[in-house]
């Protein structure tokens, strides 16, 4: 099999070491010739790259490795870009979460005002990466799992319609692992699912094993009692906020017991509960900075200091193996069935054709083939129409530099109670994002 060249855009990300370890663990499925790291933040990338260079030397010394801040060096002669960037880093995520909470509104990195603020920062940076790839390696594929995925996907659809981009999210994959554990399966790969929605805004409507046996009733029963909390604690996020999210899924499911929901729907359906149970002084961003970020950079520092990754506590990002599955599907035309964020075009029959929806697809060398999910019920359709309008308005606000459209997007969000509160939040977010957002008028 051909050995592939991969650029990881976001070389300084705390997720990068886990992804490198995952790629190394799957070399028999996706052989690799070289890995390049690209990041605008040279100092941050140096720490992650320094540790990963040692890991590669010890585990796969034949793989060539480059770290760079130069786009031409990073994007020349590659097959795949794996993009997980965070525009503004965790410091700006903290603002995304705390500013809405100050106004009594949900503060979350991908939902509501926080997600819109993050999207306004991310669109330009992701489009720039796409342009680098198309300039220096026009035959490569861009595998995007940068958040907020819904807004980024709409931006790439509207503003780079011919680019070879696949937008994917790991959250359904993580939830499916919890489902599998709840009913005693070894892996989500023992299941085949039907699903429809938008990113962080969807519902499972069918789950079967490989013999076609219906698993959905057992999973629905578990979610109705426990949410996605399982006995296998290894699958759970360690932070209390995540475990609360998994438990809250039972209340979300109660609105349509025939399905099982994406966990993020809680922010749209129970925003008052979320605000009441949030600490405006310490949000998820603080948990991540004190937890994951401190841990990963600490471990990378130890590897560099010791000159070896032996006994390192860094671990494989197991469920990120979906990235290998996606790259393999493109490289070897495997027709892997995966949930992707794609232009609707009839996959959901009674929904906006240009909406970027999350549905099962068969992925091959020519990209994704969405599988038709039929017509959807009025409840979900109404929620999704409102949310997709928000996402489209944000992208229009960015491309037109329109204050008016961003205010409209905030006002339209289910999470924001009034146009006045939307305007107050917008004023604060605009100040905080000076230098990151376009100048709006």
Give residue-wise pLDDT tens across range 339-374: 999 999 999 999 999 999 999 999 999 999 999 999
Once rounded to an integer, what is the mean pLDDT over residues 130-143? 98
232 pLDDT band (50/70/90 cuts)?
confident
233 pLDDT band (50/70/90 cuts)?
low
User: Do residues 375 and 350 lie in contact, with contact meaning Cβ atoms separated by under 8 Å?
Assistant: yes
Selection from 187, 189, 192, 185 nearest residue 212 by Cα: 192
pLDDT at 17: 96
Give residue-wise pLDDT tens across range 387-406: 999 999 999 999 999 999 99
Which one from 25, 33, 131, 170 is the annotated catalytic residue?
A: 170
pTM, full prediction:
0.96
- Using only C-alpha atoms, the chain has a radius of gyration, in whole angstroms, of 21
pLDDT at 239: 67
Residue 319 reports pLDDT greater than 80:
no
Backbone angles phi, psi at 268, to 5 degrees: -90, -30
Once rounded to an integer, what is the mean pLDDT over residues 420-427? 98
Residue 70 known to be catalytic: no
- DSSP H helical ranges for 263-320: 266-269, 271-276, 284-288, 294-306
Residues annotated within a binding site for Mn(2+): 169, 200
Which one from 132, 195, 196, 264 is the annotated catalytic residue?
A: 264
Residues annotated within a binding site: 93, 147, 169, 200, 284
pLDDT at 236: 47
What 3-state class would DSSP assign to 325? Answer: helix
Give residue-wise pLDDT tens across range 327-340: 999 999 999 999 99
Spell out the domain ranges in the chain. Answer: 378-433
Residue 381 reports pLDDT greater than 70:
yes
Residues annotated within a binding site for substrate: 93, 147, 284
Residue 118 known to be catalytic: no
């Amino acid at each position: 099999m051909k050995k592939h060249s991969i650029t990881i855009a976001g070389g300084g990300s705390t997720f990068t070491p886990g992804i490198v370890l995952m790629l190394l663990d799957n070399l028999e499925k996706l052989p690799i010739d070289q890995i390049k790291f690209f990041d605008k933040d040279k100092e941050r990338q140096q720490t992650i790259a320094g540790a990963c260079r040692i890991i590669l030397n010890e585990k796969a010394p034949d793989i060539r490795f480059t770290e760079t801040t130069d786009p031409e060096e990073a994007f020349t002669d590659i097959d795949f870009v794996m993009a997980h960037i965070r525009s503004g880093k965790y410091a700006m995520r903290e603002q995304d979460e705390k500013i809405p909470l100050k106004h009594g509104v949900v503060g979350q990195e991908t939902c509501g005002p926080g997600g819109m603020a993050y999207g306004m920062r991310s669109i330009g940076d992701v489009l720039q990466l796409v342009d680098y790839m198309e300039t220096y390696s026009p035959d490569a594929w861009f595998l995007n799992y940068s958040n907020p995925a819904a807004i980024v996907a709409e931006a790439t659809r509207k503003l780079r319609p011919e680019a070879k981009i696949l937008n994917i999210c790991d959250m359904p994959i993580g939830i499916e692992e919890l489902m599998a554990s709840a009913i005693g399966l070894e892996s989500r790969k023992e299941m085949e699912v039907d699903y429809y929605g938008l990113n962080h805004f969807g519902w499972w409507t069918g789950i079967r094993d490989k013999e076609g046996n219906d698993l959905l009733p057992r999973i629905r029963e578990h979610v109705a009692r426990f949410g996605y909390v399982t006995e296998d604690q290894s699958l759970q996020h360690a932070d209390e906020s995540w475990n609360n999210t998994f438990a809250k899924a039972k209340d979300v499911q109660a609105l349509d017991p025939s399905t099982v929901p994406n966990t993020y729907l809680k922010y749209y359906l129970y925003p008052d509960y979320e605000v009441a149970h949030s600490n405006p002084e310490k949000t998820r961003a603080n948990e991540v900075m004190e937890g994951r970020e401190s841990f990963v950079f600490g471990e990378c520092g130890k590897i560099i200091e010791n000159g070896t990754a032996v006994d390192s506590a860094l671990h494989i990002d197991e469920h990120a193996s979906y990235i290998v599955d996606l790259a393999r599907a493109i490289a070897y035309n495997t027709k892997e069935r995966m949930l992707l964020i794609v232009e609707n075009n009839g996959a959901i029959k009674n929904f906006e054709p240009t909406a970027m929806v999350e549905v099962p697809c068969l992925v091959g060398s020519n990209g994704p083939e969405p599988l038709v999910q039929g017509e959807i019920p009025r409840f979900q359709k109404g929620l999704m129409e409102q949310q997709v309008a928000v996402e489209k308005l944000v992208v229009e606000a960015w491309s037109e530099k329109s204050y008016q459209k961003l205010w409209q997007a905030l006002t339209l969000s289910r999470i924001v109670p009034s146009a006045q509160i939307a305007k107050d939040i917008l004023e604060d977010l605009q100040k905080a994002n000076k230098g990151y957002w376009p100048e709006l008028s």
